[in-house]
Amino acid sequence: MHRIIKREELAPKIKLFVVEAPEIAAHARPGHFFVLRMHEHGERIPLTIADSDPGAGTITMVFQEVGKSTCELGTLEEGDSILDIVGPLGTPRDIRRLDTVVCVAGGVGVAPIYPEAKAFHELGTRVISLVGAQTKDMLIFKDRMETVSDEVHYSTDDGSFGYHGFVTGLLRDLLAGGLRPDEVVAIGPLPMMRATCKVTAEFGVKTIVSLNAIMVDGTGMCGSCRVTVDGKTMFSCVEGPAFDGHKVDFEELMARQTRFLAEEKLAMERYKAHAEGCKCRRK
């Protein structure tokens, strides 16, 4: 069992938990993820480690309530426990000192990008962060990103804060203005990562993305998370989740991400109809 020692509402339907998981905290590196189950009948939920504190034996997770399982997870309070957490999983990022890195984050993608920005920053790399969200209210991790970045630029889809438009527009402006980072790291929704790769391909800038393919076991056995990278089949959970974005077949991956939509909709309807209901939907 893993006790939740801190719970924070970062934005509407976006929550942060700090959870006791000493073994995972001791070995966590940027890019690692874990899989949790709330209870015996719970779906397996993969989440990237947003932060870890080996001294305190805790890991930080950030999630958005988008379906039945994350909605149910969001009902947990401080002091409640999560049944099991397996990790750290995946291949951690190979982070070394570079001259300049641009971290492009979309939505809750800013949480998994934070440990990477922090690691680059600690090595002395100049970190320029571009953080996008739908609205000002949905911008999270501002303080954290400002602490580990030399510059942070914001964008909102509705123009309520920072650049009015997608975060890829900000990136295009910077690259068109002559900036040539050694690497762009992009984490967010698949369309955002695909759009980022299109922009960086135009300017010939290496781009690493973190793929949120649907996972089941998280250890390379089920094949659920397979993606095509450079024409080869790869498992996001073992060989990823980070890949060279210019080699990822995003069209195939985006099509595969829709394969359980009907089941997800049904699960959400059943959950909402349940006597306890879903606290997050009542707000």
Residue closer to ligand FES by CB (options 167, 215) is 215
CA distance 178 to 17: 40
Q: Measured from the CB of residue 62, what is the shortest distance to ligand FES in angstroms?
A: 20
Which residues, 192 to 221, sit near ligand FES by CB under 6 A? 215-218, 220-221
Q: Which tokens in the block code for residue 231? A: 């024409």
* Binding of residue 176 to ligand FES (CB under 6 A): no
Q: Say which residues have a Cβ less than 8 Å from residue 155's Cβ, sequence separation at least 6.
A: 130, 131, 132, 133, 162, 163, 164, 165, 166, 167, 169, 170
Residue of 91, 224, 228, 257 interacting with ligand FES (CB under 6 A): 224
* Binding of residue 225 to ligand FES (CB under 6 A): yes
Binding residues with ligand FES: total (CB under 6 A) = 12
Residue 131 class from Cβ within 10 Å (0-12 exposed, 13-18 middle, 19+ buried)? buried
Q: Which tokens in the block code for residue 62? A: 């950030």
Measure CA 25 to chain center: 18
Q: Measured from the CB of residue 100, what is the shortest distance to ligand FES in angstroms?
A: 33
Residue closer to ligand FES by CB (options 5, 222) is 222
* Binding of residue 34 to ligand FES (CB under 6 A): no
* Binding of residue 222 to ligand FES (CB under 6 A): yes
> Cis bond leading into 115, ω under 30°?
no
Residue closer to ligand FES by CB (options 43, 217) is 217
The footprint of ligand FES (CB under 6 A) covers: 215-218, 220-225, 235, 237
